[in-house]
Amino acid sequence: MEIKLKCIECDKSTEDGVTCRCKCGGLLDVVLDLDSLRGKVSKELFNSRLGSRKFPYMSGVWRFRELINPLLSEREIVSRPEGNTNLYRHERVGQYVGIKNISLKHEGENPTGSFKDRGMTSGISEAKRLRMNVVACASTGNTAASLAAYASLAGMKSVVFIPEGMIAFGKLSQAMAYGAKVLQIKGNFDDAMSLVQESSHELKMYLLNSINPWRIEGQKSIIFELIQQFDWEPPDWVVVPAGNLGNTSAFGKAFYELAELELIDKVPRIASIQATGADPFYRTWKGNLPGLKAVKNPETIATAIKIGNPVSWKKALRTIKLTNGLVEEVTDQEIMDAKAIVDGSGIGCEPASAASVAGAKKLRDAGVIDKNESVACIITGNILKDPDATINYHLSKLKEISPRFANKPTVIEPTIEAVRKEIS
């Protein structure tokens, strides 16, 4: 089988499998040979691997191996294993959003606590095939945690570029603990992103941000697994938080391939949700602008998506067009209130993840999503990633946010009377 890395701008294939951009500067796509896959892959094949204990099929990524990276041998696959994340339904979430048929796919259940593991198993495995020794990324935290873990698992060195003082502690602690070389950049994520691109090129480090097309291939499995959980009958909408736009890009490619292979007969609309203070993709899409309207000093409590100049915006725009989708933005207040609802339902997530639920609510309130439509929201990261945001919300300590659903702890004397007073 042939796999091509093709430029999305000039359509030329590249022979060099290591760089992430075409000579013309365009982003690269992995182009699978769908003709030769037709007939070879089926719902039955993927269903037969469900619950398998066999490597690598126990992974919710490699269960779809033929659609991720058919060239890899089993020795080259580096897997924890990842995926197999749950779909949750909860009346409280449905009532809050105003949609009965709403499910949350919890990508925070991945090995390092975010969806990044799906792209990372794919990216690190390709790095192994290419015999790379050093891998690198810029990150708002989760990519760094995931890269550090998978690199150590594979026996590679990892270098992570993070904006100093701007990432949640849970994520920073993971990157340090898993053994990455942590470079704290005096600047924001966008500065770190441009520095890692320059450094990886000069210093021969394999770049594993979602600009790497193999990351996108792995992240497609969120959709493959979601649709399998829906018994191959897609919902009307898929709603996803959006920062550097890797997921939005991956989701469109996944649906394109599923439709081409006739594994689904309808493509859901994708709603990509940004935070109001970090909304370059929203501004670009809303204004129908020819180029990206970058945001110079992005600001949001959802530090995972605090990004002003997302690298994958052209691929993401392709997804929005392909799926008749849309881009929306939500305020920090809306994000934190939605998070409190998701948390209070026993599901739990980090702030950026709640952007999907807040976005679904906003689109429902505006009548864009009908109350009878089915909606899947992607929950991208685990509640434990950013305990500061959670605690400060409940203690009313967040600037410019009034917590509608605060659950403040009380300090009491160690007596039964004091307990009785509190619980009566």
Instruction: Report, in Å, the least distance between residue 142 CB and ligand F0G.
Output: 3
Q: Is the separation of the CB atoms in 281 and 257 below 8 Å?
A: no
Tell whether residue 59 is a contact of ligand F0G (CB under 6 A): no
Q: Using CB under 6 A, which of the segments 82-90, 135-143, 147-155, 223-231 binds ligand F0G?
A: 135-143
Locus of tokens 């603990």: 177
Question: Which of 228, 353, 374, 390 touches ligand F0G by CB under 6 A?
Answer: 353
Q: Which is nearer to ligand F0G, 78 or 316 (CB)?
A: 316
Binder of ligand F0G out of 99, 305, 354, 398 (CB under 6 A): 305
Phi-psi region of 413 (alpha: psi -120 to 50; beta: other; left: phi over 0): beta
- Residue closer to ligand F0G by CB (options 215, 364) is 215
Q: CA 393, CA 344: separation in Å to the nearest integer?
A: 13
Check whether the bond before 351 is cis (ω within 30° of 0): no
How far does CA 365 lie from the centroid of its chain? 25
Nearer to ligand F0G, 174 or 228 (CB): 174
Q: Does 275 bind ligand F0G (CB under 6 A)?
A: no
Q: Which is nearer to ligand F0G, 59 or 174 (CB)?
A: 174
- In the bound state with ligand F0G, the residue whose beta carbon lies nearer, of 81 and 381, is 381
Per-residue contact flags (x/-) with ligand F0G for residues 379 to 408, judged by CB under 6 A: -xx---------------------------
Q: What does each C-alpha distance from 175 to 67, 146, 189 come to in angstroms?
A: 29, 8, 16
* Choice from 69, 103, 114, 284 touching ligand F0G (CB under 6 A): 114
Distance of alpha carbon 18 from alpha carbon 285, whole angstroms? 31
Q: Shortest approach of ligand F0G to residue 211 CB, angstroms?
A: 11
| Nearer to ligand F0G (CB atom), residue 242 or residue 317 | 242
Site pattern 237..266 for ligand F0G (x: CB under 6 A): ----xxxxxxxx------------------
Does residue 112 touch ligand F0G according to CB under 6 A? no
Q: Considering beta carbons, is residue 102 or 172 the nearer one to ligand F0G?
A: 172
Member of 304, 360, 376, 398 binding ligand F0G (CB under 6 A): 304
**Distance in Å, CB of 12 to ligand F0G, minimum:** 26
Q: Smallest distance, Å, CB 421 to ligand F0G? A: 40
Smallest distance from ligand F0G to CB 143, Å: 4
Q: How far is the CB of 238 from ligand F0G (least distance, A)?
A: 13
The CB-of-323 to ligand F0G minimum distance in angstroms stands at 15
* The binder of ligand F0G chosen from 117, 190, 350, 373 (CB under 6 A): 350
Figure out which of the listed residues 210, 221, 228, 323 binds ligand F0G, where binding follows CB under 6 A.
210
Give the number of residues in contact with ligand F0G, rule: CB under 6 A. Answer: 23
Q: Is 125 a residue that touches ligand F0G (CB under 6 A)? A: no
Contact letters for ligand F0G, residues 74-103 (x by CB under 6 A): ------------------------------
CA distances from 97 to 54, 268, 371, 397 (A): 39, 19, 9, 25
The answer to the question of residue 174 lying near ligand F0G (CB under 6 A) is no
Catalog residues that contact ligand F0G under the rule CB under 6 A. 114, 116, 139-143, 210, 241-248, 304-305, 350, 352-353, 380-381
